[in-house]
Structure 1
Amino acid sequence: MSLLQRLEQANYQTTAIAAECECSYSELINNAQQIRHQYPDLKHQTVAVRFKDLSNFCAQILAFDGWCSKLYLLSDKALLPDDITLFPDGVSSIASQPEHRELLSKEITTHWFMATSGTTDIPKWIGHSLDSLTRAVKINVNNAALRWALCYQPTRFAGLQVVLQSLLTGATLVDCTNGDAAQRFTEMQRGAVNAISATPSLWRQLLMTNEMLSLPLKRITLGGEIAGQRLLDNLAALFPQAKLLHIYASTEAGVGFAVSDKKAGFPLNWLKQGHNGLSFKVDSRQHLWLKPPQKPDINLADRIDVEGFLDSEDLVEVTEDRVHFLGRANGLINVGGSKVQPEQVEQVLLQHPAVLQARVYAKSNSVLGQLVAADLQVAPNHDVKTLKLQLIQHCMASLARYQLPTQLNFVDNIATNASGKLSRKREDKE
């Protein structure tokens, strides 16, 4: 059943999009039907859409799922595949194949394509089905009462998850994808948000506004980056009535899993028992492998083993009864032949009460190849020299010598990319 048919069947009588001009579910469905009537030749074609505004984007994905053979969601940096040409109204398409013409009256299965974030590499196109994208959606009365702040770009995997979760449960979406943390918070207030899904980096920025308690949050989710224990503890203390989840998912692996016990990492017994239809294993390199219910995209064949497990390329560490994330395998800093995981150093720095945000990256060195450097946002009214010494001592208690930051930079702001994640591409020269 297509996305549009699901909403038609649900018949939600509520607000779908909360913006300057609100859009109800019935209006959204009508807009999607008008798109199909306006562009009948798009049926069975390959179509690509860019995000301009939330109401039009939602109407487009409703119109094209079950209508077009392939649907590409284009982020700002993603390049169009070679066989797609520009089409009016932010929509792109290619001509359908002749053999499809006799099937125009039938609903079809649409293959959705999204580009990976390209945080540490060139973005790649990965395909999914609507069923695999909505595997974790839970429909109940409580979910219908949620007003979600959309903080991720909806053409990214995490953003699309929020959009689909909201649409299929009859909830309300509020566009909070633009601006700094203060501007996003203003949109949250304006839209009476009670549910937020964002990266840990963005959550830290939002908490720095010191106004988050004015939002009556019922649902808090974190994804896209490592959710450290200090941040989880802070959110749990500030919003004790909210359901707190940190979610593991990726464009490559699809819908992964959610951890609800308010602890960093995930339970060790999941490696043996699996969880929510997902199987796990860790190899000798500390790579986490996942076996989802659906087959991964064929473009990932070089990362799939004979048992059907997909190499997530995330590094993990088993400690007692927990599996903790260390960071991406391709994001290592090479210090004289010793490998340093920048996320691991960040998590140690973030455990210090003065540190509000941290970004660790490589600094070129003619002798050792690379050294570890860090940009830090810290709480006001700290003596820089004293704090720097405290942080070095703090790191020495948890890190090996080669992992220690050799340069600590105190900055006013640490920017995030379009996905809400810290950029991993920076390397300072000597």
Structure 2
Amino acid sequence: MKKFFCEINKKEISYLSLIRDLNKRKEYKYVSNHNDFYLIFRDIVASLLNDSKIVLIDSDLSQNEVEKLNIFSDELQRIYKCEYPDIQDIDDLLTRLTIPRNKWRVDLFTSGTTGVPKKITHTFDSITRAVKISPDKKADVWGFAYNPTHIAGVQVFFQALLNLNTIVNLFNLKKDDIIKSIDYYKITNISATPTFYRLLYDGSKKFENVKRVTSGGEKLDSKLFNLLQSMFPNAKILNVYASTEIGTLFASYGEYFVLKESLRDKIKIIDNELYVSSEYINNDDNDLAQDNWYKTGDYVEVISDNPLTIKIIGRINEIVNIGGYKVHLSEVEEAINSLPFVVNCSVYSKRNSVLGNIIMCDVVLKEKSISEQDIHKFLSSKLQPFKIPRIINIVEEIKTTRTGKVQRI
């Protein structure tokens, strides 16, 4: 029986069970904020079959956080009754899911790490722009390593759903359970943040069943790319550029993005910031663009002009002033992560009355014998003195955000 959604040691739900559930309930929660991934997925499918709007938010938001999203208590309690006819079988489900949907919308919210989260509305076409449907993808098994209420999770969900693939939850699991899930369910495809892959890597374990690995949401550096090649020896490794506002825009097999000629007039770079044509912004969100261009907030380096090749350095708002010098925190982070004894790190700044800011770092090490002084010594050959963190904290784990990215304190 074709499996729809699985969680190791918890549940296995088939597509037939999903269909029975959809036929029995014929309703969904308008603001879907379940802490059960299956219930969120069921709500999305029901809203799609009903060709009506759905809003996705995190289950652990406080009342104050919800109010900042302009979502009111009556909306949180609202249940949409659906009018779609009974689904006959899996083929009927797939046929209905691929029918053009003109009214369906999904409201998502940015992570809000730099302020109040922004509401972004997507249509079916914009959310599935990068989805590929083909017979050779029918046997794919997806390791689901994103939050299902954010853009990356929704995109992976539709890639799996529209090919009738099995989805296996890997998000927020312990490392041993992730490894067990990949092996037990013979996962073939994984899409996750670089932080997820760094935490998974142990230097010896190889996942030979995995044939495609996608990294997104954070910068992919050359060290991690090499680690992915070692960890997934039979996989194609894809680096994706995407955002909540525009969805997936382009991808590469490494840290450098060689842009297709068709994108030449769709993007521009001003003062190292990436701008994207407003045509990639859903019509409901045109206020995000100015003069037909959307400022992404991403700082890029142009490697070559012909063909146009860029490298994502990090976010503009991660540039801090240290004693009159501008420092990009992701540059420091990349240097620290390149050290052979480092598993992962988080670099952040703290206000200082003399320098304006100082750089600090939390770091997880492979070797317990390494000290803060050792790290400073290694970094002295990689970074200018003002870029080296003043304070380095050796920690057991790096805190992550709700979307699975490194949390900068």
TM-score normalised per structure 1: 0.80
Task: Provide closer, same or farther for how the CA distance between residues 394 and 183 of structure 1 changes in structure 2, counting only shifts above 3 A.
Answer: farther
User: By how many angstroms is 1:314 displaced?
Assistant: 0.6
> Is the deviation greater in 128-137 or in 178-187?
178-187
Q: 1:186 aligns with which of 155, 180, 184?
A: 180
Q: 1:316 aligns with which of 280, 296, 300?
A: 300
User: By how many angstroms is 1:357 displaced?
Assistant: 0.7
Corresponding residue for 2:95? none
Amino acid at match of 1:304: A
Q: 2:250 aligns with which of 254, 257, 263?
A: 257
Tell me, in whole angstroms, the C-alpha distance in 1 between the residues paired with 2:242 and 2:201: 24
User: By how many angstroms is 1:148 displaced?
Assistant: 1.0
Task: Provide closer, same or farther for how the CA distance between residues 94 and 196 of structure 1 changes in structure 2, counting only shifts above 3 A.
Answer: closer
After superposition, the C-alpha distances for 1:101-148 in whole angstroms (9 at most, x for unaligned) are: xxxxx9751111011112222211110001110111111233221211
Q: Indicate yes or no: 2:57 matched with 1:74.
A: yes
Amino acid at match of 2:165: A
Q: 2:193 aligns with which of 196, 199, 202?
A: 199
Corresponding residue for 2:17? 27
Amino acid at match of 1:168: L
Corresponding residue for 2:238? 245
Q: 3-state DSSP class of the match of 1:220?
A: strand
Give the alignment of 1:378-389 within 5 angstroms.
378-384=365-371, 387-389=374-376
Corresponding residue for 1:98? none
Whether the aligned pair in 2 keeps the contact of 1:278 and 1:292 (CA below 8 Å) is no
Tell me, in whole angstroms, the C-alpha distance in 2 between the residues paired with 1:173 and 1:419: 18
Whether the aligned pair in 2 keeps the contact of 1:114 and 1:155 (CA below 8 Å) is yes
User: By how many angstroms is 1:17 displaced?
Assistant: 1.4
Q: 3-state DSSP class of the match of 2:210?
A: coil
Task: Provide closer, same or farther for how the CA distance between residues 385 and 335 of structure 1 changes in structure 2, counting only shifts above 3 A.
Answer: closer
Q: 3-state DSSP class of the match of 1:394?
A: coil
Tell me, in whole angstroms, the C-alpha distance in 2 between the residues paired with 1:91 and 1:174: 29
Tell me, in whole angstroms, the C-alpha distance in 1 between the residues paired with 2:379 and 2:73: 54
Corresponding residue for 2:5? 17
Corresponding residue for 1:100? none
Whether the aligned pair in 1 keeps the contact of 2:134 and 2:163 (CA below 8 Å) is yes
Amino acid at match of 2:249: G
Task: Provide closer, same or farther for how the CA distance between residues 319 and 27 of structure 1 changes in structure 2, counting only shifts above 3 A.
Answer: same
Whether the aligned pair in 1 keeps the contact of 2:206 and 2:230 (CA below 8 Å) is no
Tell me, in whole angstroms, the C-alpha distance in 1 between the residues paired with 2:172 and 2:370: 34
Whether the aligned pair in 2 keeps the contact of 1:278 and 1:290 (CA below 8 Å) is no
Task: Provide closer, same or farther for how the CA distance between residues 240 and 415 of structure 1 changes in structure 2, counting only shifts above 3 A.
Answer: same
Whether the aligned pair in 2 keeps the contact of 1:84 and 1:92 (CA below 8 Å) is no
Corresponding residue for 2:402? 418
Whether the aligned pair in 1 keeps the contact of 2:267 and 2:275 (CA below 8 Å) is yes
Q: 3-state DSSP class of the match of 2:126?
A: helix
Q: 3-state DSSP class of the match of 2:178?
A: helix
Whether the aligned pair in 1 keeps the contact of 2:188 and 2:210 (CA below 8 Å) is yes
Q: 2:157 aligns with which of 163, 181, 203?
A: 163
**Structure 1 residue ranges (4+ consecutive) displaced by more than 4 angstroms after TM superposition:** 80-84, 297-300
Amino acid at match of 1:326: I
> Is the deviation greater in 250-259 or in 128-137?
250-259
User: By how many angstroms is 1:169 displaced?
Assistant: 1.1
Amino acid at match of 2:17: E
Whether the aligned pair in 1 keeps the contact of 2:336 and 2:379 (CA below 8 Å) is no
Q: Indicate yes or no: 2:296 matched with 1:305.
A: no
User: By how many angstroms is 1:56 displaced?
Assistant: 2.3
Corresponding residue for 2:362? 375
Task: Provide closer, same or farther for how the CA distance between residues 258 and 53 of structure 1 changes in structure 2, counting only shifts above 3 A.
Answer: same
Whether the aligned pair in 1 keeps the contact of 2:274 and 2:295 (CA below 8 Å) is yes
Q: Indicate yes or no: 2:208 matched with 1:220.
A: no
Corresponding residue for 1:152? 146
Q: 3-state DSSP class of the match of 1:313?
A: strand
Tell me, in whole angstroms, the C-alpha distance in 2 between the residues paired with 1:419 and 1:107: 28
Whether the aligned pair in 2 keeps the contact of 1:354 and 1:378 (CA below 8 Å) is yes
Corresponding residue for 2:46? 63
Whether the aligned pair in 2 keeps the contact of 1:206 and 1:212 (CA below 8 Å) is no
Q: Indicate yes or no: 2:268 matched with 1:281.
A: yes
Aligned length: 382
Whether the aligned pair in 1 keeps the contact of 2:48 and 2:101 (CA below 8 Å) is no
> Is the deviation greater in 152-161 or in 316-325?
316-325
Q: 3-state DSSP class of the match of 1:252?
A: coil
Whether the aligned pair in 1 keeps the contact of 2:140 and 2:189 (CA below 8 Å) is yes
* RMSD of aligned Cα (Å): 2.8
Q: 3-state DSSP class of the match of 1:186?
A: helix
Corresponding residue for 2:312? 325
What are the ranges of 5 or more consecutive residues in structure 1 without an aligned counterpart? 1-12, 96-105
Q: 3-state DSSP class of the match of 2:381?
A: helix
Whether the aligned pair in 1 keeps the contact of 2:300 and 2:312 (CA below 8 Å) is yes
Q: 3-state DSSP class of the match of 2:219?
A: coil
> Is the deviation greater in 60-69 or in 142-151?
60-69
Task: Provide closer, same or farther for how the CA distance between residues 233 and 278 of structure 1 changes in structure 2, counting only shifts above 3 A.
Answer: farther
Give the alignment of 1:24-173 within 5 angstroms.
24-36=14-26, 39=27, 47-67=30-50, 69-75=52-58, 76-77=60-61, 79=66, 82=70, 84-86=72-74, 92-93=78-79, 109-173=103-167
Task: Provide closer, same or farther for how the CA distance between residues 190 and 84 of structure 1 changes in structure 2, counting only shifts above 3 A.
Answer: farther
Whether the aligned pair in 1 keeps the contact of 2:335 and 2:379 (CA below 8 Å) is no
> Is the deviation greater in 363-372 or in 66-75?
66-75
Task: Provide closer, same or farther for how the CA distance between residues 337 and 59 of structure 1 changes in structure 2, counting only shifts above 3 A.
Answer: same
